[in-house]
């Protein structure tokens, strides 16, 4: 009996597509994917778990962001790294290290380096490119309310990826983003799950990044708190604020 | 016989002088060239081998390929002790490497971090040849910067720099250091990106206590004894490490050195051939001219063997005079090249990652002089063989009839 009920429920989920006021455009879907961890202005608490062949560690951080231009991320734990803060303003990035009470600007040559030991690069945090600007895109399929959109880099676009395949739900919640290099090889895959309600908005709370050449490694970011429309003053994203 | 040969040479004094001068010039060109090229190879060897690769090196088997911070050798102290006990090793040092962001208040840049044992390193790398300014590492918390890097960062001696990096446990490693000196190693990459700090400081920064990336040895017998040293090292360290000689570690440099040696050999052969033909020509001419005279000598009872000896003696005397004159000229030039150096006028130039100073100095090896002298004399005698043999085959009666 329970089994039948479960099946029926499953069937209704599969068959009954969500109802929307209007079908979203592809551009809207891509922008929503871009904005999932950007937002207009927000304050969040996240947990970043990094697993590599060599180490596994979990960091808790608070992040403030204003649009896609400015953000400030501060490590809360572990104690060894607590207080370490990254400031991003436009295309520039600084790290503040409390242990030595110094702020260092990340030079252009190191932007492709790892951010805080994770599988994200500094560039991932800084680049505010939009998929819909730098790529030509095309809907490949719509299966069970999930759009698959293939984005191909425009010839003159200043992006590191040759192709990006986005899977996004019709309600604009991303499911998976696969990044391919210029030779068309899969480089990494980011998947979103655990959709939760934060401050009245549906957001996937978990983001998992797996590099294609190291399938045993991953970086998982879990959002535990998220507030939108937070008010900032100009000092929030300044070099002075880094040290506070 | 000697007196006769001596007199014969000066009968055609102009021709003999030309031959002597030609040989002298050959020797005078060869010697400074050998000195100069050896100077270049010595610089190259110093930069690539003595300062970096060592005569024999021990590493984690994966490190040469991955260059990863994680591919270290553990139990470094035990290995170092074992290697220092080897009688064939004149010096042993250990190093660790890392990469990080290095900055001053004004600027920051990516840098290659080299952790060196200040005392042991100075036995392998003469610090005075590496330091451009300032002093060597003497206490913890000091750092040396490649002069190109220091320039780029506007860092100066006595100033403070900050290093930020990823430690081996994934945490953020950071430290502040005082610039003790500027390095000019001759390795272009390192002079522009390198930063040297004490091994202990780097191990602490990267969280790799008692681990190193390489152990480097110099052979007591010099670079020609690396193979015996390698065998000793292989026996002394446990399995699971990679032991290589400098030419196995850097085949490109080994190849360049070999090629350079071949080039200077080819040059020598060419010069010697010219000198040999000079003697051959002189002696042939003089034998032709003296056909009649030689006929008379033979008719008077001089045996063919004595005629051969006479001609060979003449060739020998010519070459000795050439060599003595050439030795004086060449020696003077070698002296200038060794003491003053030779400014090629290109400014500092780079070859295979090795930066050579604009004013290159030669090196003096008595072997250069000896090899030039001996081969010139030998070549001259060989070149005189044919004319001598011809002279000995003369029929006295016919020879005396010749014009």
pLDDT value, residue A12? 35
Report if residue A3 sits inside a domain.
Answer: no
The beta-carbon neighbor of A102 closest among B70, B109, B176 is B176
* Residue pLDDT, tens place only, B164-205: 998 888 888 899 999 999 998 888 888 999 999 999 999 999
Give A75's strand partners: A61
pLDDT confidence bin for B352, thresholds 50/70/90: low
Helix axes B2-11, B304-339, angle to 10 degrees: 70
User: Residues B64-107: pLDDT tens digits?
Assistant: 888 888 899 988 888 899 999 998 888 999 999 999 999 887 78
Least confident of A75-89, A227-241, B55-69: A227-241
Average model confidence (pLDDT) for chain B?
Answer: 86
Asked whether the beta carbons of B118 and B138 are under 8 A apart, the reply is: yes
Would the CB atoms of B70 and A81 count as touching at under 8 Å?
no
**B181, B286: one domain:** no
pLDDT given at position A22: 57
- pLDDT (0 to 100) of residue B114: 94
**CA–CA distance, B345 with B341 (Å, rounded to integer):** 12
Chain B residue closest in CA terms to A53: B70
Burial of B274 (0-12, 13-18, 19+ CB in 10 A): middle
Question: Are residues B259 and B360 located together in one domain of the fold?
Answer: yes
**Residue with structure tokens 């506070």?**
A244
- CB contacts of B175 in chain A (<8 Å) are 100
The per-residue pLDDT for B201 is 94
Question: Which pLDDT value is given to residue A5?
Answer: 38
Lowest mean pLDDT among B21-25, B158-162, B212-216: B21-25
Report how many domains make up chain A.
Answer: 1
In chain B, the residue whose alpha carbon lies closest to the alpha carbon of A51 is: B170
Question: Which residues of chain B does A106 touch, with a Cβ-Cβ cutoff of 8 Å?
Answer: 101, 108
State the nearest Cα–Cα gap between B34 and chain A, in angstroms: 43
State the average pLDDT over residues A13-20.
39
Whole-model pTM: value is 0.74
Same domain, B262 and B295: yes
Helices marked H in B125-225 — which ranges?
Answer: 127-130, 147-153, 188-193, 199-206
Buried b (16+ CB within 10 A) or exposed e, A100-120: eebbbbbbeebbebbbbbbbb
Q: Report residue A85 as tokens.
A: 């803060």
CA distance B102 to chain A (A): 9
Residues in B touching A110 (Cβ below 8 Å): 101, 110
Domain stop point among B214, B240, B266: B240
pLDDT digits 0-9 by tens, B232-247: 898 888 778 999 998 8
The answer to whether position A152 is within a domain reads: yes
The angle that helices B304-339 and B251-289 make with each other, rounded to 10 degrees, is 140
Q: Contacts of residue A117 in chain B, CB cutoff 8 Å?
A: 166, 170-172
Chain A: residue whose CA lies nearest to B103: A104
Mean pLDDT of B290-294: 84
Q: How far is CA A140 from CA A167, A178, B338, in A?
A: 10, 14, 74
Residue partners of A50: CB distance under 8 A and separation at least 6: A56, A57, A58, A59, A117, A118, A119, A218, A219, B170
Contact B37, B267 (CB under 8 A): no
Q: Are residues B264 and B393 in the same domain?
A: yes
Q: Is residue B259 part of a domain?
A: yes
Cα A147 to Cα A157: distance, rounded to the nearest angstrom? 24
pLDDT reading at B376 higher than 60: yes
Mutate to test the interface with B, among A107, A115, A214, A242 (most CBs of B within 10 A): A107
Return the SS3 of B400.
Answer: helix
Of A78, A80, A95, the CB nearest to B164: A95
Encode pLDDT of A151-183 as tens digits. 888 888 777 888 899 998 888 888 999 999 988
For residue range A19-47, list pLDDT tens digits in order: 444 567 888 888 877 777 665 788 889 99
Q: What is the pLDDT of residues B5-47, one digit of tens each?
A: 888 888 888 888 888 888 888 888 888 888 888 888 888 787 7
Site from B60, B99, B108 to mutate, A interface, most A CB atoms within 10 angstroms? B108
CB-CB contact of B355 with B186 (8 Å): yes
Q: Residues near A108 by Cβ (< 8 Å), separated by ≥ 6? A: none
B276 and B227 in a common domain: no
DSSP B92-112: EEEEEEEEEEEE-SS-EEEEE
Are B218 and B296 contained in the same domain? no
Token pair listed for B132: 């451009």
> What pLDDT does residue A4 have?
40
Residue B69 shares a structural domain with residue B215: yes
Please give the pLDDT value at position A210. 95
Q: Can you give the pLDDT at residue B177?
A: 95
**Cβ pair B110:A57 closer than 8 A:** no
d(CA B383, CA B265): 20
pLDDT at A6: 42
The ipTM value here is 0.74
Q: Which of A54, A81, A116 sits opposite B168 (nearest CB)?
A: A54
Is B346 strand, coil or helix? coil
Domain region containing B319: 2-47+254-401
Between B147 and A68, the higher pLDDT residue = B147
**How many Å apart are CA A207 and CA A220, to the nearest integer?**
6
Q: B307 and B5 in contact (C-beta within 8 Å)?
A: no
Judgement on whether residues B73 and B185 belong to the same structural domain of the protein: yes
* pLDDT the model gives residue B302: 85
In sequence order, the 6+-apart residues with CB closer than 8 A to the CB of A60 are: A45, A46, A47, A48, A75, A76, A77
Inside any domain, residue A84: yes
- Asked if residue A8 is part of any domain, the answer here is no
Q: Angle at CA B62, nearest 5°, toward B56 and B64?
A: 50
Structurally, chain B folds into a number of domains equal to 2
Whether pLDDT at B122 is above 50 = yes
Angle at B33 between CA B32 and CA B39, to 5 degrees: 90
Q: What 3 state SS string does A122-176 have?
A: HHHHHCCCCHHHHEEEEEEEEECCEEEEEEEECCCCCCCCCEEEEEEECCCCEEE
Query: Can you say how many angstroms the Cα of residue A233 is from the centroid of all Cα atoms in its chain?
Result: 24
CATH code for position A32: 2.50.20.10
The residue with greater pLDDT, B359 or B217, is B217
List CB contacts (< 8 A) between A97 and chain B: 162, 164, 172, 174
Does any domain span residue B128? yes
Q: Are residues B42 and B65 in the same domain?
A: no
Whether the Cβ atoms of residue B104 and residue B155 lie closer than 8 Å to each other: yes
**Cα A1 from Cα A6, distance rounded (Å):** 9
Domain assignment present for residue A10? The answer is no
Range of the domain at A138: 24-242
Q: Is B341 left (phi over 0), alpha (psi -120 to 50) or beta?
A: left
Task: Based on the fold, state whether residues B222 and B309 are members of the same structural domain.
Answer: no
Residues 6+ apart with CB under 8 A from B255: none
What mean pLDDT is predicted for residues B349-360? 72
**Residue B52 falls inside a structural domain:** no
- Best of B172, B177, B178, B192 to disrupt the A interface (most A CBs within 10 Å) is B172
Identify from B149, B154, B161, B174 which residue to disrupt to test chain A contact, counting A C-beta atoms within 10 A and taking the largest count: B174
Minimum distance, in Å, between the CA of residue A114 and any CA atom of chain B: 9
Question: Nearest-CA neighbor of B19 among B267, B275, B273?
Answer: B275
CB-based contact A106 B101, cutoff 8 Å = yes
Question: pLDDT confidence of A9, banded at 50, 70, 90?
Answer: very low
**Poorest-pLDDT segment among A91-95, B280-284, B348-352:** B348-352
Please give the interface size between A and B, counted as residue pairs whose CB atoms are below 8 Å apart: 58
What's the CA angle centered on B244, arms B241 and B248, to 5 degrees? Answer: 140
Question: Pick from B240, B268, B293: which residue ends a domain?
Answer: B240
How many other CB atoms are found less than 10 A from the CB of residue B253?
A: 22
In a domain, B53, yes or no: no
Round the average pLDDT of chain A to a whole number and report it: 81
Residues B28 and B65 in one domain: no
Tokens 């490949």 sit on residue? A140
Please name the residues in contact with A213: beta carbons below 8 A apart, sequence gap of 6 or more. A187
Tell me if B256 sits within 8 A of B275, measured CB to CB.
Answer: no
């Amino acid at each position: 009996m329970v089994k039948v009920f479960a099946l029926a429920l499953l069937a209704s989920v599969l068959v009954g597509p969500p109802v929307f006021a209007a079908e979203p455009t592809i551009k809207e879907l891509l922008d929503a994917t871009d904005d999932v961890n950007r937002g207009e202005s927000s304050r969040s608490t996240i947990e970043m778990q990094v697993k590599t062949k060599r180490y596994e560690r979990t960091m808790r951080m608070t992040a403030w962001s204003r649009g896609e231009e400015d953000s400030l991320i501060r490590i809360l734990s572990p104690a060894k790294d607590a207080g370490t803060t990254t400031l991003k303003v436009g295309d520039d990035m600084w790290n503040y290290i409390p242990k030595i009470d110094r702020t260092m600007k990340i030079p252009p040559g190191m932007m492709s380096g790892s951010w805080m030991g994770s599988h994200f690069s500094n560039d991932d945090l800084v680049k505010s490119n939009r998929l819909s600007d730098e790529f030509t895109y095309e809907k490949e399929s719509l299966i069970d309310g999930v759009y698959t959109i293939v984005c191909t880099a425009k010839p003159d676009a200043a992006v590191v990826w040759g192709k990006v395949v986005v899977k996004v739900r019709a309600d604009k919640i991303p499911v998976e983003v696969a990044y391919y290099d210029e030779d068309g090889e899969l480089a990494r895959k980011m998947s979103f799950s655990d959709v939760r309600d934060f401050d009245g908005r549906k957001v996937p709370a978990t983001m998992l990044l797996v590099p294609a050449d190291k399938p045993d490694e991953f970086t998982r970011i879990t959002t535990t708190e998220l507030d939108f429309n937070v008010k900032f003053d100009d000092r929030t994203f300044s070099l002075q604020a880094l040290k506070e | 016989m000697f007196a006769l040969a001596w007199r014969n040479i000066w009968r055609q004094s102009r021709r003999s002088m030309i031959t002597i001068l030609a040989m002298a010039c050959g020797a005078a060109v060869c010697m400074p060239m050998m000195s100069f090229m050896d100077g270049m190879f010595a610089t190259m060897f110093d930069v690539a081998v003595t300062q970096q690769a060592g005569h024999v090196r021990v590493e984690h088997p994966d490190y040469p390929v991955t260059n990863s911070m994680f591919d270290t050798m553990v139990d470094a102290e035990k290995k170092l002790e074992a290697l220092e006990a080897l009688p064939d090793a004149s010096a042993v040092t250990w190093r660790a490497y890392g990469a990080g962001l290095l900055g001053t208040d004004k600027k920051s840049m990516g840098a290659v971090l080299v952790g060196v044992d200040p005392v042991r390193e100075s036995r392998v790398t003469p610090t005075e040849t590496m330091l451009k300014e300032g002093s060597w590492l003497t206490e913890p918390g000091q750092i040396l910067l490649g002069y190109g890097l220091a320039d780029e960062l506007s860092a100066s001696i006595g100033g403070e720099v900050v290093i930020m990096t990823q430690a081996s446990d994934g945490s953020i490693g950071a430290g502040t250091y005082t610039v003790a000196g500027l390095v000019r190693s001759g390795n272009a990459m390192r002079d522009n990106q390198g930063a040297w700090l004490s091994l202990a400081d780097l191990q602490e920064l990267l969280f790799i206590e008692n681990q190193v990336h390489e152990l480097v040895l110099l052979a007591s017998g010099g670079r020609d004894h690396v193979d015996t040293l390698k065998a000793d090292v292989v026996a002394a360290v446990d399995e699971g490490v990679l032991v290589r000689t400098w030419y196995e570690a850097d085949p490109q440099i080994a190849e360049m050195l070999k090629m350079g040696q071949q080039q200077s050999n080819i040059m020598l052969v060419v010069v010697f051939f010219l000198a040999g033909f000079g003697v051959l020509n002189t002696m042939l001419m003089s034998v032709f001219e003296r056909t009649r005279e030689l006929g008379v000598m033979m008719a008077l009872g001089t045996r063919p063997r004595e005629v051969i000896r006479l001609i060979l003696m003449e060739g020998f005397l010519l070459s000795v005079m050439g060599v003595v004159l050439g030795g004086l000229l060449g020696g003077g030039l070698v002296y200038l090249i060794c003491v003053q150096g030779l400014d090629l006028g290109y400014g500092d130039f780079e070859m295979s990652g090795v930066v050579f100073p604009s004013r290159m100095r030669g090196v003096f090896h008595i072997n250069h002089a000896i090899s030039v002298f001996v081969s010139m004399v030998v070549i001259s005698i060989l070149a005189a063989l044919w004319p001598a043999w011809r002279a000995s085959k003369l029929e006295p009666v016919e020879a005396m009839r010749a014009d």
